[in-house]
Structure 1
Amino acid sequence: MSVAVTAPKGGVAPATRRVMNLSHFLRQAARRFPQEIGFVHGAATTTWSDMDTRVDAMVAALTAKGVTKGDRVLVQSKNCLQMFESMFACFRIGAVWVPTNFRQTPDEVAYLAKASGATLMICHADFPEHVKVAQAESPAIAQVIGIGNAPFGEDYDALVAAHLGTTAPAADVEYDDPCWFFFTSGTTGRPKAAVLTHGQMAFVVTNHLCDLMPGTTQNDASVVVAPLSHGAGIHQLVQTARAVKTILPPSERFDVAEVWGLVEKWKVTNIFTVPTITKMLVEHPSVNQFDRSSLRYVIYAGAPMYREDQKRALNTLGKVLVQYFGLGEVTGNITVLPPALHEPDDGPHVKVGTCGFERTGMQVQIQDDSGNEVAPFETGELCVCGPAVFAGYYENPEANAKSFRNGWFRTGDLGHMDEQGFFYITGRASDMYISGGSNVYPREVEEKLLAHPALVEVAILGVPDPMWGEVGVAVCVAREGAQVNEAEIAAFLDGKVSRYKLPKRVFFWDALPKSAYGKITKKMVREALEERGLLPLDKQMEKSA
């Protein structure tokens, strides 16, 4: 996982591309602000010095168990202090942190165990079945460490206590040394392990501080509302670089009122979310029951926010929204739309629908199927290059060949760029369907539908049709107490979009299925339609005739 370094013309090649070990962020915070609170979980608080000391102890424990540089450590855990510490412990050893989303099933986690080649597992006490299935599927996991009162393995905190007082120097690392296997969400197939490296992630942290939350200092605070295994974990790593305290809500279930209470209590300045969570935070009655004047950045990623939801959030929270577009493979570093460019009202000066402009140090192009850059406003695939792009998928040459072209990472997202360099996402390439020979991009129609006052969520996908090849099916969620039907939706869309873009059927559900990351995925919606007997569409229509 390293690359050769060639000498510059007239110069001398360095012996290595040594970079800072990412665990040094924690050491820096502990040195500068030893008695300041670094982590909060319910009533428990941990100082930066104590966290750094505990990480050193866990490094000693893992080393005693034979974990060395390059080894993979699988972590199946809810958000907690120990999970957060395990990231820095792996980094400090030079091992690879392999976190799972704790909502995944035992079989899903077993697959990740085998795919990563993990040799040790750290698991929360609530998931004994995950340990059993993972070890059965991957015998290489010979040792397990349990978080909490676990019926398996050695106790995490007992190991820490046994090794307190040990000082662990950080392993020497080079730019391309892996530090984190960031598993993709697997919305179109089996999850793939994107290899994140120490050098890449140092750039990502710097870029996040530059583009997403400038001016961040140790006086700030960040509340966590998503699993630390993925985007939220990267966000909290960024916070550590500036000694910003991380606050975990005490409840395991997402409680909006509790989150707003923490914002008030700890003077929270930034939150990392996805659009569905932002929507829940904004629309809950508790949003106006607590002081949230400390908030400067409400950062949303994972999917674009629909314009109607964006307006509602801006009118409620003020101009604190920050959008970034990016995939796990580029650790979010593709485009940014800062607070100043989020406007609550449409107008000629507002770029409605944009996901922003290129992140600092990154280059983005809209390319055609041959890899050529297309003209402004022409639709193509968003492709990106720069230091935030991952090293590739672990032991997956087929996926690497498919995802890279001429040095550009292919995101699989379709969109266009305007003349000023602002990008607009039309949708995933896999979401587009062809009806009667014409391309249909569902997001355009979804945006129109969400302007209907009775609707709160919408998903449109293409399904086979004997006459048109494919047609659209819309699944809608109505506001509580609202009454709306299929005919009304058809009438509402009439004249707003071309007729070939109109969904052939509209279904109403109590809720849309969401992934473990809080995102609406078309794959899950399609599966739900099939489970309910609503697909194939022609068969379903025959039954109702």
Structure 2
Amino acid sequence: MTSDEPQGGVTPVSTRVMNLANLLSQAARRNPDEIALIRGDVQWQWREIEERVDAMAYAFVHEFGVRKGDRILVHSANCNQMFESMFAVFRVGAIWVPTNFRQMPEEVAYLAQSSGARMVIFQAAFDAHAEACRATGERIESFVSIGSSPIGEDYDAIVARNLGRGVSPAAVDRDDPCWYFYTSGTTGRPKAAVLTHGQMAFVVNNHIGDLFPATTHRDKSIVVAPLSHGAGVHQLCQVARGATTILLPSEKLDIPQFWTLVEKWRVNNLFAVPTIVKLLVEDPSVDRYDHSSLRYVIYAGAPMYRADQQTALEKLGAVLVQYFGLGEVTGAITVLPPAFHSLGDGPDARIGTCGFERTGMQVQIQDENGDEVAAGCSGEICVIGPAVFAGYYRNPEANAKAFRNGWFRTGDLGHVDTQGFLYITGRASDMFISGGSNVYPREIEEKLLMHPDISEAAIVGVPDPVWGEVGVAVCVARDGATLDAAGLREWLDGKVARYKLPKKIVFWPEMPKSAYGKIAKKMIREELERRGELNDLSPGGAESRSVAP
């Protein structure tokens, strides 16, 4: 090969890829009269959803002047219009910017401003959010309301007058953005992770192959999380297979109603964060309805504690699928399929692992210099592969921190065993150093949740004049339980090293959670300060404590 010859002896001819909106068109061609979407008493066939998406895409281009690369912010609870908007935005080559409907007006206004949104689609119940976006003074040119609102034109009216019209899918390249996936912003302002058409095509195939491989057009998937984030990725995969999507009829999670729908429609899969799975299987209604149709109950977004995992396995059987992955990697880092979930704690059980590498992805545990550490040694979990995002939108500082030598740094700490199974010990930001020793809260939280009267637990590190930092445990007791801090601390003593024992234990009626249903350490820390729970931490360490070697 000569010095001026391209590497590998060939120059790429094209980076053109399929526009992701074609997934819907393909499903509509194969299954035009089958049910695509269900919400309450209303059902839509695949051809109807395709026609509605076509109509809105036509309006985007010919009525609103949307061009390829424009950002369209969508603020709505789950509904058919929210579902459709993804495909209409993709179809015209624009960028979908969904927000969590539980966010405050000023938070959504920041997302509109930071993304450079040109259009806002919002549910009429969120007029205040639309007004806040308009007040930013940004270049937002159009507002479309889902339902009647004085601020924007009605979404369904736009669709109705354009039925029968459409546009050809915009030509897109592999690295063309299609979705700004905003991080939850637990340690600062949310950042827009840029997802691309080529990346998402890989993710769809990867999710189908690794998470729910037997899914077909005869399957049904129920949505219990906002379509703005992980559930949206999950449903994109269901569309690719022509599977029916069932939306809950209301924003509030009515658990008996959920199990009624599972039985009625013979639901086969769902995606949820562990806290939602915990609520579903601990509710008495789980035993009143037939859920034998479930094949894949997929959980991700936060660790599922062992006690909760065992309860879910007891109630649902061998249907749990865990995956680990951040929004920046579109969830595709590791997978723990049903066959690797064990109800018992025998010698062959892989307790505490979040699984092995996803197909086409590579995980490496690195030290602070970016060097790989040996199996069994702890370090930062780093990943490479086609599911990794393109970077953060207009945030070079965040990109510089997030990538090192081509590896994406997750910010999570963990280790792999000799067979490649990954074990997460916690977030780097959660770890605290007490008496010179690293303390990983998740380890102690796991132990606390083994207590039969503890429903939820979280530990945060706080400053201490003697030990540097100590742990404060916040616990939620099960209904009817009577517990005190001294008794729980005595129960915990001997189950973890004494230097890891929390210096203080408090009980709250409920745990602060983020808009995505995750226990939020940042919110817990703020609430501890607000309640003055940190004021009475006396100098010195916890009683009977010794410095770790």
Same fold (TM over 0.5): yes
Please tell me whether the aligned partners of residues 225 and 272 of structure 2 are also in contact (alpha carbons under 8 angstroms).
yes
Change (3 A) 1:344 1:20: same
- The answer to whether residue 217 in structure 2 is matched with residue 213 in structure 1 is no
Structure 1 residue 80 corresponds to structure 2 residue 67 = no
Report if aligned partners of 1:463, 1:537 keep a CA contact under 8 Å in 2. no
Provide Cα deviations, 1:239-282, integer angstroms capped at 9, x if missing partner. Answer: 00000111011122111111111111111000100100000000
- In structure 2, list runs of 5 or more residues that go unmatched: 541-549
Partner Cα distance (1:319, 1:391) in 2:
36
Q: Determine if the alignment matches structure 1 residue 12 to structure 2 residue 10.
A: yes
Contact 1:475–1:508 at 8 Å: present in 2 too? yes
Q: Give the alignment of 1:125-524 within 5 angstroms.
A: 125-524=124-523
Contiguous gaps of at least 5 residues in structure 1: 1-5
Q: Is the 8 A contact 2:68 2:94 kept in 1?
A: yes
Mapped partners of 1:183, 1:175: distance in 2: 21
Shift of residue 10, structure 1, vs aligned partner: 5.4
Change (3 A) 1:294 1:73: same
Superposed displacement of residue 9, structure 1: 3.4
Q: Distance in 1 between matches of 2:132 and 2:250?
A: 27
Partner Cα separation in structure 2 for residue 352 and residue 210 of structure 1? 24
The answer to whether structure 1 residue 110 and structure 2 residue 109 are counterparts is yes
Task: Give 1:526's aligned residue.
Answer: 525
Residue in 2 aligned with 1:36? 34
Letter in 1 for 2:226: P
Q: Which amino acid aligns with 1:465?
A: D
Report the alpha carbon displacement of residue 16 of structure 1 after superposing the two structures with TM.
Answer: 2.6
**Change over 3 Å in CA distance of 1:98–1:138 after alignment to 2:** farther
Say if 1:534 and 1:540, in contact at 8 Å, map to a contact too. no
- 1:30 is aligned with what amino acid? A
Code of the residue aligned with 2:288 in structure 1: it is Q
Could you tell me whether the CA contact under 8 Å between 1:464 and 1:536 is conserved in 2? no
Match of 1:50 among 48, 51, 62: 48
**How far 1:138 moved relative to its partner?**
3.9
**Cα deviations by residue, 1:404-462 (Å, 9 ceiling, x for unpaired):** 00000000000010011000000000000000111000000000110001101000010
Q: Is this contact kept in 1: 2:473–2:506, CA < 8 A?
A: yes
Report the Cα offset of residue 7 of structure 1: 7.7
Q: CA deviation at 1:537?
A: 4.9
The letter of the residue matching 1:23 is A
Is the alpha carbon distance of 1:495 and 1:125 closer, same or farther for their aligned partners in structure 2, counting shifts above 3 Å? same
CA deviation digits over 1:66-115, x for unaligned, max 9? Answer: 10100000001110000111100010000000000000000000000000
The one-letter code matched in structure 1 to 2:335 is V
Counterparts of 1:130 and 1:200, CA distance in 2: 31
Question: Equivalents in 2 of 1:7, 1:312: separation in Å?
Answer: 60
| 1:75 maps to amino acid | V
Deviation at 1:15, TM superposition (A): 3.6
Per-residue CA distance 1:138-190 (angstroms, 9 max, x = gap): 43112100001223211101100111111321001000000000000001110
SS of residue in 1 equivalent to 2:90: helix
Q: 1:501 to 1:177 in 2, by over 3 A?
A: same
1:23 is matched with 21
Q: Which amino acid aligns with 1:240?
A: V
Residue 465 of structure 1 contacts residue 537 of structure 1 at CA under 8 Å; is this kept in 2?
A: no
C-alpha distance in structure 1 between counterparts of 2:357 and 2:470, whole Å: 34
Alpha-carbon contact 1:100-1:109 (below 8 Å) kept: yes
In structure 2, the residue matched to 1:101 is: 100
In the alignment, which residue of structure 2 is the partner of 1:60? 58
Distance in structure 2 (CA, Å) of the matches to 1:9 and 1:529:
58
> Is the Cα contact below 8 Å between 2:255 and 2:285 reproduced in 1?
yes
- 1:3 aligned partner: none
Which amino acid is 1:381 matched to? E
- Give how far 1:535 is off: 2.6
Work out the CA distance in 2 between the residues paired with 1:48 and 1:237: 14
Matched position secondary structure for 1:474: strand
Question: Is the contact made by 1:366 and 1:380 (CA closer than 8 Å) also made in structure 2?
Answer: yes
Q: State the one-letter code of the partner of 1:439.
A: N
Structure 1 residue 231, shift from structure 2 partner: 0.3
CA contact (8 A) 1:281 1:287 kept: yes
SS in 2 for 1:538: coil
Alignment partner of 2:426: what SS?
strand
**Per-residue CA shift, 1:472-514, capped at 9, x if unaligned?**
0000000000011001111111111111100000000000000
- 2: distance between equivalents of 1:11 and 1:265? 58
246-255 vs 378-387, which moves further: 246-255
CA distance in 2, matches of 1:485, 1:528: 20
SS across alignment from 1:489 = helix
Structure 1 pair 273–412 and aligned structure 2 pair: CA distance change class (3 A):
same
Residues 113, 138 of structure 1: 8 Å contact kept: no
TM-score normalised by L of structure 1: 0.97
For residue 137 of structure 1, give the secondary structure of its aligned residue in structure 2: coil
Q: 1-side partners of 2:386 and 2:28: how far apart?
A: 28
User: In structure 2, what residue type is equivalent to 1:415?
Assistant: G
Report the counterpart of residue 546 of structure 2 in structure 1. Answer: none
Distance of aligned partners of 1:7 and 1:17 in 2 relative to their CA distance in 1, 3 Å threshold: farther
Distance in 1 (CA, whole Å) between partners of 2:186 and 2:459 is: 16
Three-state SS of the structure 2 residue aligned to 1:268 is: coil
Alpha-carbon deviation of 1:403?
0.2
Aligned residues: 536
Q: Percent identity?
A: 66
| Counterpart Cα distance in 2 of 1:10 and 1:518 | 48
The answer (yes or no) to whether the contact 2:465–2:539 under 8 Å persists in 1 is no
